[in-house]
Amino acid sequence: MLGGTGEARALAAELVARDLRVVSSLAGRVANPRLPVGEVRVGGFGGPDGLARWLTENHVEAVVDATHPFAERIGASAFQGARTAGVPLLRLQRPGWQAGPGDEWHWVSSLDEAASKITELGERIFLTSGRQGLSAFACCTDQWFLARCVDPPEPPLPPKIEILLDRGPYEVEGESALLREHRIDVLVTKDSGGTMTTAKLRAARERGIPVVVVKRPSRPETTTVETVPAALSWVSAMLGA
């Protein structure tokens, strides 16, 4: 299991409950990650060839890529490594978000494009796109930023920025208060999907705040499901469990 998401943890728990051996691999980018049940390994494999060797040496019978929708490099390695090792691969990816009535969403293809877009929309920006992408906004000298991250970010950063270290899930009331207290007039996020962080989108809608949404990167075509039960059925079929 290539994990790090809530769906990965839920699937690992279901599989372990069925007495299946599960090894969850975490990238190690978060200092104190939420750990799944079962065996856990932390760190990379050394690219797709290293992953293929690990799969072969450990007699892996099935691979589930349940990484974050924006873990593009890991997704490519999973596809190539599993194919090289001859191991069936499933992509477990939660559905993306959809704008609703009253939403003002601006879709962009990258954080760099988001940094350009915000100059048209406002001056006080709430960044919820992760600590690793903050450098894309370092050139924005006129805007003030509130950036929420799990771990402290590293420079380069925008010159006018406040860092909020926090981890979801969040509630609409709290998100609305945050937007109000910091006088936020633009929200920037990635299309992560799921329910853990949707409260900020509802709060933005209620307060009439535009949202800049970064589209998901493309992934290699492979068998894909959107729910943990569907992934559980696939694994059960692959292993005859």
Model confidence at 240, pLDDT cuts 50, 70, 90, reads confident
Q: CATH code at 141?
A: 3.40.50
The answer to whether position 100 is within a domain reads no
pLDDT of residue 125: 98
The answer to whether position 129 is within a domain reads yes
Q: Which tokens hold the place of 159?
A: 């010159």
The answer to whether position 1 is within a domain reads no
Indicate whether 225 and 210 sit together in one domain. no
User: Taking 80 as the threshold, does the pLDDT of residue 151 lie above it?
Assistant: yes
Q: Which of 11, 8, 47, 13 lies closest to 26 in space, CA to CA?
A: 8
**pLDDT (tens digit, 9 = 90+) per residue, 61-74?**
999 999 999 999 99
pLDDT of residue 196: 85
Model confidence at 32, pLDDT cuts 50, 70, 90, reads confident
Residue reference for tokens 């402290």:
152
Calculate the alpha carbon distances from 82 to 55, 116, 167, 233, 236 in Å: 8, 38, 32, 19, 18
Indicate whether 90 and 182 sit together in one domain. no
Indicate whether 202 and 232 sit together in one domain. no
Give every CB contact of residue 46 below 8 A, 6+ residues apart in sequence. none
**pLDDT (tens digit, 9 = 90+) per residue, 86-106?**
999 999 999 999 999 999 999
Indicate whether 156 and 132 sit together in one domain. yes
pLDDT of residue 68: 93
The answer to whether position 53 is within a domain reads yes
DSSP bridge partners of 90 = 64
DSSP assignment of 139-183: T--SSEEEEEESS---S---SSEEEEE--S---HHHHHHHHHHTT
Model confidence at 34, pLDDT cuts 50, 70, 90, reads confident
Question: Region 3-16: what's the mean pLDDT?
Answer: 96
Indicate whether 129 and 202 sit together in one domain. yes
Which domain range does residue 72 map to? 6-95+217-239
| Sign of the C-alpha dihedral computed for residues 59, 26, 171 and 130 taken in this order | negative
Indicate whether 16 and 35 sit together in one domain. yes
**pLDDT (tens digit, 9 = 90+) per residue, 115-138?**
999 999 999 999 999 998 999 999
* Domain tally, the chain: 2
The answer to whether position 22 is within a domain reads yes
pLDDT of residue 168: 87
User: Taking 80 as the threshold, does the pLDDT of residue 28 lie above it?
Assistant: no
Please state the pTM of the whole predicted model: 0.91
Who has greater pLDDT, 48 or 196?
48
Indicate whether 115 and 88 sit together in one domain. no
Name residue 141's amino acid.
Answer: T
CA angle at 118 for the pair 117 and 122, rounded to the nearest 5°: 140
